[in-house]
Structures are given as structure tokens and as C-alpha cells.
Amino acid sequence: MFGLFGKKDMENSTFNNVLIASLGELVRRKNSKPSEEYLLEIVTDLANKQGYKLNQQQVGAVRSCAMTLKMSVGDEIYVLAGKMILELPLGVNHGYKALSQLLVTHCIIYDEAALDFLNFGKK
């Protein structure tokens, strides 16, 4: 609990990137069916390293993602995350975009248009 002091709330667009990077880390570790706790630990660690903390909505999204990974679409997520890892050093982001869109389709993360809508009244 003490590790949360001084951490700032994470914007949803930043959370999207942290979750996708965490999926890449799962592929790198060759962990295809993580528990909710394990995925949450990876996402939280990455967020903490960047000075952020997760809100309850983001924790729910991580839990939803963990459930989705155990369904048939989980295989597609892993293929796209693996493709993303291979493309990043080349400066290509097709795998990242496809993975992001798949997570949007399954209501795990918000796309940019939805984030703009949600943030409209905050500015």
C-alpha cells in the first residue's frame, strides 16, 4: 500500500499503452494463460515504474483482459502481441494497431474517439 503514495492517476490512453505493453511482456515470458492476479501484477508493476497507479475501472479492464485471454480470442491476442514485439524494433506498428483494435472490439479498452468523448467535459 505504501508504494501508492506519490503516484498519479493514469490517463486511459496511457493505460491502453501499458496494457498492450504488458501483453507483449506475457508473450516474451511465454505465459499464454495468466491468472488475473499475474496479469494485474505485470500491469501494475509497469504503471508503478512510470509513476502511475491504476484506478478501479482500469483494474476491471485488466481482469476482463485476463478472462478474454482464456477464451478462443486469446490465441489471436497472443499472435498479435508477438507480431507487435517483432515489429517494434523496425519502427512498424501494424501489430500494435491490430491488437489495440481487437481489445477495443472486446470492450477491454477505449479507442481514441471514445476517449475524446469521455474527456470532452473535463477540459
**Would 22 be classed as within a structural domain?**
yes
Q: What is the radius of gyration, based on Cα positions, of the chain?
A: 14
Would 13 be classed as within a structural domain?
Answer: yes
Residue 117 has pLDDT above 50, yes or no: yes
- Provide the number of structural domains found in the chain: 1
- What pLDDT digit, counting tens, does each position of 20-36 carry? 999 999 998 887 788 89
Going by C-alpha positions, the residue among 48, 51, 54, 49 that lies closest to residue 16 is 54
26 and 42 in contact (C-beta within 8 Å)? yes
Block residue for cell numbers 478472462? 67
Residue 123 inside a domain? The answer is no
Amino acid at position 86, single letter: L
| pLDDT given for residue 52 in this prediction | 94
121 found inside a domain: no
Q: What is the pLDDT of residues 71-82, one digit of tens each?
A: 888 899 999 999
Residue 4 counted as domain residue = no
Domain enclosing residue 35, as ranges: 9-115
- pTM reported for the whole predicted model: 0.81
Percentage of residues of the chain with pLDDT beyond 70: 85
What are the angstrom distances between the C-alpha of 12 and each of 28, 48, 56, 112? 24, 15, 12, 9
